[in-house]
Amino acid sequence: MSALAGTGALVRLALHRDRVVLPVFVVILVVMVAASASATVKLYPDEASRVQAAVAINTTTSTLALYGPIHDESSLGAISTFKMGIMGAVAVAVLALFLVVRHTRAEEETGRLELLGATVVGRRAPLTAALLVAAGASLAAGIGTALGLIAVGMPAAGSLLMGAGFACLGIAFATVAGLTAQLVKSARTAAGLAGGVLGASYLLRAVGDASAGDGFGWLSWPSPVGWWQQTRPYAGDRWWVLAVLLGLSLAVAALAYALAARRDFAAGLLPDRAGPAAAAPGLRSPLALAWRLQRGGFFAWVVVFVVLGLVVGGMASNVGDFLKSPQAQELITKLGGVSGLRDAFLSVELAFAGVFAAVFGAQAAMRLRTEESALRADPVLAAAVGRTSWAWSHLTIALAGAAALLLVVGFSAGLASAVQVGDSSQLGRIVVAALVQVPAVWVVIGIVVAAFGLVPRLVVLGWVALVGFTLLGEFGPLFELSQAVMDVSPFAHVPRLPGGDFSAGPLLWLTAVAAGLIAVGLVGFRRRDVG
């Protein structure tokens, strides 16, 4: 039997399982990149305004670290995609690495791949199928992005290079995930290792871009994310850099195949560390176990939110320098001057932080379903632990963890802003502006819990709801949707702080809705079968 036998069938199976997630991801990515580019064109209608904004961006260290430089300060395409370009590329890389882990290591961990392997399926077929699906998803995202940018008036050559860069970066990190899936036996660890490589790559690029004036710009070159950025869409169009990304992909894929041939099924090449014979005194409650399982991910999110807060707070004091066109000046005047613009900027960015906190909360709450479907909940519930107590252990991490992340981003952004503008009062008002997002985040968690308790196989509705709420907030005003439609999103009821009027009523209602959804989910979980 060929080592690739059954690859086509596994590809079809993977596409069937991801038939909703993949099209939704591609559509959201294309719409967000194209809409962002289209909106930027209106802010910078002439070359002079683009040059002024690009100079301000290229001289702001925090902006360089987060998004990278604008290589051609007069290019409309370069300034229109400087933010969503790198964010979109990283998003494609994240999608690709999780697809590979999901269809390789996760399938082995659950035992499903063992059943498939008993049929006419070759040894290399699962890895090959996963890489093909991830590569196809990356190509679809890249082609869609290129067509979307062309549709909103961006130059065709730069748009095609942007899309090709998305695809190549996604393929590169798909192979990285294929490699980490051979090293360890846990899907979460494999995804964490691949994500760590992506994070380190982004960090190297950030340090290199932020310190290029000090002679450390070379740090961007050991980074695959830096290679993507060096393609310079709309600012020189370096197609040859894509060959470096593809060369990395081929080398890493070859190593992954070599390691796959040397390891045992359902095992990793790295040895497992034996745990203690008896649990520590602090690990003898459901909450302690849930914290032990989720603390690694939580601390990683804390680091991200600290960096996000510092960058947002640092950018807020310079945001007026980015907008020098007559249209932008009119916007600044309507917002109440530079101070009003700063508050509006912080309000928008903290709203995004609320969405990111909801991602953590939904992910933490979905751990309930993961533990149940992997049969790890059964031994816990077989002891003197009630269903409600077990569910609350993970819910506490989700609810309190999301609130803690918003506190972290508010504190770090407030501290950075206070130092920049020399006003200590900024700290308290920005912390409050971040914490008002908490009830809306809890509503998203409540949706996850309700689905888990009533129809557990539909727990993915939490992601669907969060994506829908985000799209309403981003594109509702653009398409002039009615306020009744906009109000479907819990984030539409959050006071726009700092700078806006505070009202406790909507926050209390959101908290009540979240509590109701959680109660419904817990009652449903108590009444249904486990498994």
Domain contains 279:
no
Write down the pLDDT at residue 337.
43
Domain contains 275:
no
Question: 124 and 227 in one domain?
Answer: yes
What burial class does residue 215 get, using C-beta atoms within 10 Å of its C-beta: 0-12 exposed, 13-18 middle, 19+ buried? exposed
pLDDT at residue 263 greater than cutoff 50: yes
Question: 50 and 19 in one domain?
Answer: yes
pLDDT at residue 392 greater than cutoff 90: yes
Question: 311 and 449 in one domain?
Answer: yes
* Predicted confidence band of residue 326 (pLDDT cuts 50, 70, 90): low
Boundary (domain end) residue, out of 235, 265, 295: 265
Question: 292 and 261 in one domain?
Answer: no
Question: 240 and 359 in one domain?
Answer: no
Contact 86, 67 (CB under 8 A): yes
Strand blocks (E) in 96-141? none
Question: 293 and 165 in one domain?
Answer: no
pLDDT at residue 227 greater than cutoff 50: yes
pLDDT, tens digit, for every residue of 153-190? 899 999 999 999 999 999 999 999 999 999 888 887 88
Write down the pLDDT at residue 319.
61
Boundary (domain end) residue, out of 205, 235, 265: 265
Write down the pLDDT at residue 170.
95
Tokens for 56?
Answer: 């301000």
Kindly report the average pLDDT of the chain as a whole number: 85
Write down the pLDDT at residue 507.
94
Write down the pLDDT at residue 114.
66
From residue 109, how far is each of 102, 116, 204, 373 by CA, in Å?
A: 10, 13, 32, 12
Domain contains 59:
yes
DSSP state of 275: P
Domain contains 506:
yes
Nearest to 88 by CA among 171, 206, 170: 170
Angle at 73 between CA 70 and CA 77, to 5 degrees: 75
Cis peptide before 326 (omega within 30 of 0): no
pLDDT at residue 117 greater than cutoff 50: yes
Query: What would the mean pLDDT of 464-485 be, rounded to a whole number?
Result: 77
Write down the pLDDT at residue 487.
86
Write down the pLDDT at residue 479.
64
Question: 169 and 60 in one domain?
Answer: yes
Query: What would the mean pLDDT of 335-358 be, rounded to a whole number?
Result: 75
Q: How far apart are CA 354 and CA 177, in angstroms?
A: 29
* Predicted confidence band of residue 199 (pLDDT cuts 50, 70, 90): confident
Write down the pLDDT at residue 318.
64
Contact 107, 127 (CB under 8 A): no
Task: Tell me the torsion sign for CA atoms 112, 117, 120, 126.
Answer: positive
Write down the pLDDT at residue 334.
46
Minimum mean pLDDT range among 35-49, 76-90, 314-328:
314-328
pLDDT at residue 352 greater than cutoff 60: yes
Write down the pLDDT at residue 56.
77
Tokens for 247?
Answer: 């060369």
Q: How many structural domains comprise the chain?
A: 2
Q: Which domain holds residue 161?
A: 1-265
Cis peptide before 498 (omega within 30 of 0): yes
Domain contains 175:
yes
Question: 291 and 258 in one domain?
Answer: no
Question: 294 and 162 in one domain?
Answer: no
Domain contains 387:
yes
Question: 328 and 249 in one domain?
Answer: no
Write down the pLDDT at residue 116.
67
* Predicted confidence band of residue 332 (pLDDT cuts 50, 70, 90): very low
pLDDT at residue 304 greater than cutoff 90: no
Nearest to 309 by CA among 340, 344, 270, 353: 353
Write down the pLDDT at residue 143.
96
Stronger pLDDT, 75 or 212, i.e. the higher one: 75
Contact 188, 170 (CB under 8 A): no
Task: Tell me the torsion sign for CA atoms 197, 199, 202, 207.
Answer: negative
Write down the pLDDT at residue 225.
92
Domain contains 95:
yes
pLDDT at residue 49 greater than cutoff 70: yes
Question: 251 and 351 in one domain?
Answer: no
Domain contains 68:
yes
Stronger pLDDT, 221 or 395, i.e. the higher one: 395
Whole-number percent of the chain with pLDDT over 70: 91
pLDDT at residue 335 greater than cutoff 70: no
Contact 40, 327 (CB under 8 A): no
The residue count of the chain comes to 531
Stronger pLDDT, 252 or 8, i.e. the higher one: 252
Give the long-range contacts of residues 21-24, CB within 8 A, separation 24 or more: 22/137, 22/140, 24/464, 24/467
Q: How far apart are CA 204 and CA 507, in angstroms?
A: 40
Q: How far apart are CA 396 and CA 251, in angstroms?
A: 43
pLDDT, tens digit, for every residue of 512-527? 999 999 999 999 999 8
Residues 6+ positions from 172 with CB-CB distance below 8 Å: 93, 224, 245, 246, 248, 249, 252
Q: How far apart are CA 208 and CA 213, in angstroms?
A: 9
Residues 6+ positions from 58 with CB-CB distance below 8 Å: 64, 69, 70, 73
Instruction: Please state the three-class secondary structure of 15-52 as a single string.
Output: HHHCCCHHHHHHHHHHHHHHHHHHHHHHHCCCHHHHHH
> Residue 70 — φ and ψ, nearest 5°?
-100, 115
Question: 407 and 360 in one domain?
Answer: yes
Minimum mean pLDDT range among 74-83, 145-154, 469-478:
469-478
Boundary (domain end) residue, out of 232, 265, 298: 265
